[in-house]
Chain A
Amino acid sequence: MKSSVITFPGSNCDRDMDVALKKFGFKNKMVWHDDTELPTSDLIVLPGGFSYGDYLRCGSMASKSKIMKSVINFANSGGMVMGICNGFQILVETGLVPGVLLRNKYLEFICKNIFVKINNKTNNYFNNIKNDVLEFHIAHNEGNYFCTKDQLKEIEDNEQVAINYCDENGKIEEQFNPNGSIKNIAGIFNKEKNVLGMMPHPERMIDNCLSGEDGSIFFNNLINNLK
C-alpha cells in the first residue's frame, strides 16, 4: 500500500506520521506543499503541526497551497484523505469536511490522552476494528468542533460523525469533552466517508513505551482494509 504525507511549511508531525505509516507496512512518500502532482497513493495524509504558523486562521493558508488542488481532486474522485489535528483544520478550510474548529474551551492548549468512541464502522478507516473505544492522544489549541444546527443535522443524518470523546467505557458525556466540541465530536467524515478529519494523533500511540498502543490497532486495521 502506498501513502503520501504532505509537508507544509510549519508541519511538525510529518515525520511522526511517516514513521507510523512505515511501521505498519505503508510505502510512504513525503510530498512538498509547493509540488503540484501527487505520487500514486492509496492514502493521503495531512499531518499535524502549525502550517503557515496558524496565521490568519489554522489551516486556511495551507488549504490554498499548490498541492491541495490535487488533494481535493483526489478526494473528490473517491481517494482516501486523512487529516490529523492541523490536517483536520486544513480539511475544514477546504470544505472537504463540514464545520469549523474553534479555540479550546478554556483557551488553553491541551496535550493528553483521551478516549474516543467509534461512531461509524461502515468505512475504510474503522471497518473490521474490534474495539469500540480507543485511547488516543490529543495536542491542540483549536480543536473545539463547531457547526450550525442544520449542518449538525445533516452530519448526523449522513452518519458523518467518526469519533466522539468519551470515557474508557465509551460513555459520551460533557465531562469527557476536553475542548468544548459540539456533541463531543473528535472526528468527522465527508458524506462519502473517504475523507476523515480528526483531532487525535494515532501516530503518537504506536508503542507501549509511548502514550499507549491503540494507534497501532488503528493503523493495522487501516492497512488491512486498504489491501
Chain B
Amino acid sequence: MIVNEKVAIDHGLKKDEYAKICELLKRTPNITELGIFSAMWNEHCSYKSSRLHLKKLPTKGKKVIQGPGENAGVIDIEDNDAIVFKIESHNHPSFIEPYQGAATGVGGIMRDVFTMGARPIANLNSIHFGSPQHKKTKNLLRGVVHGIGGYGNCMGVPTVAGQTSFDSSYNGNILVNAMTLGLVKKDKIFYSKAAGLNKPVIYVGSKTGRDGIHGASMASASFDDKIEEKKPTVQVGDPFTEKLLLEACLELMAGDSIIAIQDMGAAGLTSSSIEMASKGNLGIEINLNKVPCRETKMTPYEIMLSESQERMLIVLENGKEKQAKKIFDKWNLDFAVIGKTTNSKKIQLYFDDEMVADIPVNTLVENSPMYDRKWKKAKLPKKNKIKKEDLKNFKIIDVLKKVLANPNICSKEWIWQQYDHTVMGDTIQKPGGDAGVVRVHGTNKAVAASVDSSAVYCWAHPLTGGKQVVCESFRNLIAVGAKPIAITNCLNFGSPENEDNMGEFVECVQGIGEASEYLKFPVVSGNVSFYNQTKDEGIKPTPAIGGVGLIKDYNKMITMDFKEIDNVVLVIGKTEGHLDQSLFARNILDEKNGPPPEINLFNEKNNGETLLKIIENNLIKSAHDVSLGGIITAVAKMCIKSKKGISLKKPKYLINEMEYFFGEDQGRYIIEVGKNDLKKVTDILNKNAVHFDELGTIIENELYIDDKTKVTIDELISSNTRWLTDYMRN
C-alpha cells in the first residue's frame, strides 16, 4: 500500500502531524511505520491534549513510591508492603460491545498492576449509563455488569466497591472505568525500563490475533452513525489465560531474571516495545516472524497493531531464557524470544528477512505532538432563588422515599451481587458501604478504596466539581477509619477540540490539583479519556477519583450501619442547606441551574482529620459521609443497613426543613456515639474547632421526626432496594 496524506488521515492523523512524521523520518513512512505512528500519536496513547495540564497535578508525597509514568502508581503502606493501583477507562469499546468492552477493561487494568509484580487484591469500578428510559441502557448495563463480573470473578480477585450513575448525557457514550489494587513487597517492584544491550526480548501470554486492531485510535475519536462497524476494533478477553499469565508472571518474578516488563495494552506490541526502549534510552530489534500468531498470514502491520489481550513483553537477563520458559510451559502459555535490545535507539522490525520498520524511538515518544488547546473558563452560576413557599408543598417522608428510589441513590445490590466480592478471604467491608476494605493478607493492616465522581457538580462548575470529587474520596476513606494516602484519576471528557469541553477538562484538573495538594492526597496514576461524545454532544465532565487509604489495625474499621439503640447521632460539619444541583433540586423540583455546593478545603481537612482522631480512640460506633441527598438520605441509609431507626430533631437554625434535610453542603459526616463517650467526642470536636450538631437518637425500626412525619425502616428498605432489580428483571 502506498502511504500518502489521505492514508494518514484515514489513520486518524492530522495533515500537519503527517507532515511532521515525514520530516522526522526524512522520508515517507511505509504502511507499518504509519500504523505505528498513528498508534503512538493518538490521543489515548500520547496524551497530546492533556499532557500540558496533567503536569500541574501534585504527584509527590512521603508515601509515594512511584507516581504517574509507569504502568501504575505505587504507595508505601509500611512494613515493606506497598500498594500498586490505577484506574483506566474502557468507554468506547464498552458502548460498542458491552460484555467484551467491560471485561477487557478489567483485564487490562489488572495486567497493569501485576506487571509491576503485585498480586491484585481488589477491583473497583465506576460505570455511567444513559437515562434508564433510553432504549439501549438496560442492555448496556447488563452487558457491562456481566463483563466486569465475568472477568474479575474468573481471575479470583474480589470486586469490593464501585459507583453507578444514570444521566442522559451518557445515552450515546457510556463510561466504564475499572480500577485495581495490588499488593507487593517494596523491594520486589518491577518497572518497564529496559536496560543493557543484547538482552533477549521475550513475548509471553496469548497468541496475537486480528482483534482490537486500532482500538486505541477508535478510543481517540468521536462516535458517529457508523459505530456498529467498529465492532472489530473491540478486543476479546480470556480471563482464564490472564489468570494463568498472572500466576506465571508472579512465579517468574519471584526470581531475579527480569530486567523490565510491560503489558501489551492499548496499541499492543507497538507501545509496549517502544515504551521499554524509550525509558531505557535503547533500541529494540524484533523479528516479527517469531511472534506467536493465532491466525495465518498476519502482516507486520497487523501484528504490531493488534490489541489481542493477555500478553506481556519482558526483557530478560541473558541466559535465563530456559528457566523462564519452563515456568510458562507449566502454565501452558506461549513463550518466544522475539528480539533483543540494541544501542541503535531505534525500533527496528524484521519480517521474512526484510526490514519493515526503522523508526528512531524519540520521534515516537518525545517528539509526539503536544497541544495547548483553546479552552473557555466557566463562570460560577448565580445562586437560584428557590422560594420557601414552593418547598412547603413537599412532605419530607414522601420526598425521602423518592430520593431513596432514585436510580442514582438506590441500592446497587443487583450489580455487586454479580461480582465475587469475597474471594481471597480478606474482604472485611463489602460493596454498599463508603469504601471497600480488604485486609493485607496475614497482617493486622487493611486497605480501603473507593471510587467517586460527581458529574453534575463538575458540569455546573468544573473547578468546584473537580475539588469536590477529591474531597468526597477523602471523606469516604475516613468514614471507614482509613487514613487517605493517594489517588488515581480517570478523566472522562468530551472533545478536547471543543473549547467548552476542553475548558471543563482544564478546570476540573485544576480543582483536582488544588484539593489533592491541600489534602496531601497526591495523584499517583491515571488515565484520560477524551472524545466521549456522539456527534457534537459531549458527556457531562466526569472525572472519576479512586482513593486509597490505610487502616493500621483493622479491628478499628468503621461501618455505616447503626449499632445500638439509644446511641446519639451527630452530624459533623456545618449545614447551610445548599440545594442548587442537589438531587432534591434536580430531580424533585426539576431545577437544574445554580452552583454546586462550595468546597472549603480547610474544613474538609480539619473535619476529616479530627474524625480520624476520634476513630483512633475507639469513640464512635458507626459513620457515613453525607453526599447525594443530604443528611436525611445519609441517615436513612444507615437505618437501612442496620434495620434500626432514628428519632431526628428538627433544625435549630433558621433553615427551612427541606434545605436542612436535603441540602448537599460538603465536608460532613454522620457519626454514632455511645452516651458515655459523647462528652469525650464533643470535647475533641470543640478543641479542634469542628462544627457539629446533634441529630437525634437511635430507636427501633422507625425514622421519626414528629407524629405526622415518620416512616418504618421496612418501607425505606423497600423504596431503596427495589428499583434496580425491578428495572432489570422486567
Partners in one complex: yes
- Kindly list chain B residues whose C-beta atoms are within 8 Å of the C-beta of A49: 156
Bin the interface of chain A by size: 20 to 34
Interface pair A110/B239, CB less than 8 Å apart: no
Q: Which residues of A contact B384 (CB under 8 A)?
A: none
Task: Choose among A52, A54, A111, A203 the residue that contacts B420 (Cβ–Cβ < 8 A).
Answer: A111
- Residue B301 at the chain A interface, CB threshold 8 Å: no
Closest B residue, CB atoms, query A201: B422
Give the residue name and chain of the A residue nearest to B332 (CB). Answer: A9
Task: List A12-42 residues whose CB lies under 8 Å from chain B.
Answer: 12-13, 15-16, 19-20
Taking A50-B153, A210-B428 as known contacts, 14 extra A-B pairs with beta carbons closer than 8 A to each other, sorted by chain A number, are: A9-B240, A12-B155, A50-B154, A53-B240, A53-B241, A106-B729, A111-B422, A137-B422, A139-B153, A139-B422, A203-B425, A204-B423, A209-B554, A211-B430
Q: In the bound complex, do residue A53 and residue B554 qualify as a contact, i.e. CB atoms below 8 Å apart?
A: no
Is A211 a contact of B239 with CB atoms below 8 Å? no
CB <8 Å contact, B243 and A12: yes
Decide yes or no whether A112 CB sits under 8 A from chain B: yes
Q: Which residue from A16, A110, A203, A210 sits with its C-beta under 8 Å from B417?
A: A110
B244 touches A (CB below 8 Å): yes
Cβ of A206 within 8 Å of any chain B Cβ, yes or no, is yes
Interface string of A81-119 (1 = CB under 8 A from B): 000000000000000000000000010111110000000
**Cβ of B248 to closest chain A Cβ, rounded Å:** 10
- The answer to the question of A78 belonging to the interface, with a C-beta cut-off of 8 Å to chain B, is no
26 A-B pairs in the complex with CB atoms less than 8 angstroms apart: A10-B240, A12-B154, A13-B423, A16-B424, A48-B423, A50-B153, A50-B154, A50-B156, A50-B240, A53-B240, A55-B240, A108-B418, A109-B146, A109-B149, A109-B150, A109-B153, A109-B420, A111-B422, A139-B422, A139-B423, A141-B153, A203-B425, A204-B423, A207-B425, A209-B557, A210-B426
Given A13-B423, A50-B243, A206-B425 in contact, is the A110-B418 Cβ separation under 8 Å? Answer: yes
The chain B residue with its CB closest to the CB of A206 is B425
Q: Give the complex CA separation of A15 and B153 in angstroms.
A: 15
A48 to B239, CA, bound (A): 16
When the two chains form their complex, are residues A50 and B417 in contact, meaning their CB atoms are under 8 A apart?
no
Instruction: Give the complex CA separation of A203 and B426 in angstroms.
Output: 11
Which residue of the partner chain, among B240, B419, B430, contacts A109 with CB atoms under 8 Å? B419
Q: Which residues between 382 and 439 of chain B lie within 8 Å of chain A, taking CB atoms?
A: 416-428, 430, 439
Closest-CB distance, B133 to chain A (whole angstroms)? 23
**Which residues from chain B contact A201 at a C-beta distance below 8 Å?**
422
Q: Could you say which of B239, B417, B420, B428 contacts A53, with CB atoms under 8 Å apart? A: B239
- Chain B residues contacting A9 (CB-CB under 8 Å) are 240, 243-244, 331-332
In the complex, residue of chain B having the shortest beta-carbon distance to the beta carbon of A34 = B330
A10-B244, A109-B418, A209-B554 known; A204 vs B425 contact (CB < 8 Å): yes
Question: Which residues of B lie under 8 Å from residue A12 when comparing CB positions?
Answer: 154-156, 243, 423
Residues 143-190 of B at the A interface (beta carbon under 8 Å): 146, 149-150, 153-156
B243, A10: Cβ atoms closer than 8 Å? yes
Least CB separation from A16: chain B residue:
B425
Q: Are A13 and B156 in contact (CB under 8 A)?
A: yes
Closest 10 CB pairs of A and B: A12-B156, A53-B240, A16-B425, A50-B154, A109-B418, A139-B420, A209-B428, A204-B422, A111-B420, A109-B149
> Which residue of chain A has the shortest Cβ distance to B157 in the bound complex?
A12
| Complex contacts, A19 vs chain B, CB 8 Å | 425
Contact digits for A131-168, partner B, Cβ 8 Å, 1 yes 0 no: 00000010101000000000000000000000000000
Q: A207–B421 Cα gap in the complex (Å)?
A: 16
- Write the chain B residue with the least CB distance to A204: B422
User: A196 to B44, alpha carbons, bound, how many Å?
Assistant: 51
* Distance in angstroms between the alpha carbons of A171 and B452 in the assembled complex: 41
Give chain B residues whose Cβ lies under 8 Å from the Cβ of A54. Answer: 154, 240
Interface positions of B from 215 to 244, Cβ below 8 Å from A: 238-241, 243-244
Cα(A204)–Cα(B425), bound, Å? 5
- Are B423 and A53 neighbours in the complex by a CB distance under 8 Å? no
Closest partner residue, chain A, to B424 (CB atom): A16
B549: min CB distance to chain A, Å: 18
Instruction: Determine the distance from Cα of A110 to Cα of B416 in the docked complex, in whole angstroms.
Output: 9
Picked from B240, B423, B427, B439, the residue with its CB within 8 Å of the CB of A52 is: B240
Enumerate chain A residues within 8 angstroms of B153, measured Cβ to Cβ.
50, 109, 139, 141
Q: What are the interface flags for B552-563 relative to A under an 8 Å C-beta threshold, 1 for contact and 0 otherwise?
A: 001101000000
Q: Could you tell me the distance in whole angstroms from the C-beta of A89 to the nearest C-beta in chain B?
A: 14
From B155, B243, B439, residue with most partner A Cβ within 10 Å: B243
Task: Choose from B155, B244, B422 the contact partner of A211 (Cβ within 8 Å).
Answer: B422
- Measured in the bound complex, the distance between the Cα atoms of B725 and A110 in whole Å is 13
Minimum CB distance partner of A52 in chain B = B240
Known: A10-B244, A210-B425. A53 touches B419 (CB 8 A): no
A206: chain B residues at CB < 8 Å are 425
Q: Nearest Cβ distance between residue B718 and chain A, in whole angstroms?
A: 16
Q: Which residue of B lies closest to A211 (CB)?
A: B422
The smallest beta-carbon distance between B242 and chain A, in angstroms, is 10
| Bound form: Cα–Cα A4–B464 in Å | 57
Give the complex CA separation of A112 and B427 in angstroms.
13
In the complex, chain B residues whose CB is within 8 Å of the CB of A111: 416-422
A206–B332 Cα gap in the complex (Å)? 34
- Complex alpha-carbon distance, A207 and B446, angstroms: 15
Q: Which residue of B lies closest to A104 (CB)?
A: B418
- A119 CA / B241 CA spacing, docked (Å): 39
Cβ-closest chain A residue relative to B428: A209
Q: In the complex the two chains form, what is the Cα distance from A46 to B693 in whole Å?
A: 55
Distance of A11 from chain B, by nearest CB (Å): 8
